[in-house]
Amino acid sequence: MRILKYAILGLLRKGELSGYDITNYFKEELGQFWSAKHSQIYPELKKLTDEGFIEFRTAIQGTRLEKKMYTLTESGEQELHAWLTKKDPIPETVKDEFMLKAYFISSLTQEEAVDLFTDQLLKRQLKLSDLQHSYNELIESLDQPISFSSPDFGHYLVLTKALEREKNYVTWLEDILAVMKNQQ
């Protein structure tokens, strides 16, 4: 299944966007739970245009630079809605390379293991801090308390989930490091 297709359709549901705008969404808001590269986005935009799910107009930026501004068609709206309402099974386990390393931790010395976990803890704490900053910015930008009818409700949902995920990861890493250090 082309999940990128639905991510782009969903973004265009918000309004007219350029390929550059879509790429930025993947770097910022969507980047907390989904990734796509520039090299994936533009071919997908062409496919979606060919399938009639989106259309574009050419806009002039500056004096000569042309850029395509994409919008969702009625057919694209229907395709997105069908996907959103489809109930899927729980996906297979998400790949986590650090957890794979943790599984084989007995191949390391205790010092190497502590170093590996400490490095991961520092990186996760930084990620948690960045997420908290994004969350605070979102809440401060709202004119009223978050609600289902807010256009930012989806962003709120994924940010709060990402925050909980990282908090739990940090707590787990701290607990494991305490166990490792108590056995030295």
SS3 content of the chain, % helix, strand, coil (to 5): 65, 10, 25
Please give the Cα distance from 99 to 96 (Å, whole number): 5
Q: How many residues does the chain have?
A: 184
Residue 65, classed as helix, strand or coil, is strand
Please give the Cα distance from 34 to 20 (Å, whole number): 17
Query: Is the pLDDT reported for residue 147 higher than 80?
Result: yes
Which residue is it, tokens 């994924």? 158
Domain assignment of residue 177, yes or no: yes
Domain assignment of residue 80, yes or no: yes
Residues 102 and 176 in one domain: yes
Domain assignment of residue 9, yes or no: yes
Domain assignment of residue 103, yes or no: yes
Domain assignment of residue 91, yes or no: no
Domain assignment of residue 89, yes or no: no
Domain assignment of residue 20, yes or no: yes
Residues 70 and 113 in one domain: no
CATH of the domain at 17: 1.10.10.10
pLDDT per residue over 90-137, tens digit each? Answer: 888 778 899 999 999 999 999 999 999 999 999 999 999 999 999 999
Q: How many domains, in total, are found in the chain?
A: 2
pLDDT per residue over 77-89, tens digit each? Answer: 999 999 999 998 8
For the chain, what is the mean pLDDT?
92
Which structural domain, as residue segments, surrounds residue 29?
3-84
| pTM assigned to the model | 0.77
Residues 69 and 101 in one domain: no
Residues 80 and 128 in one domain: no
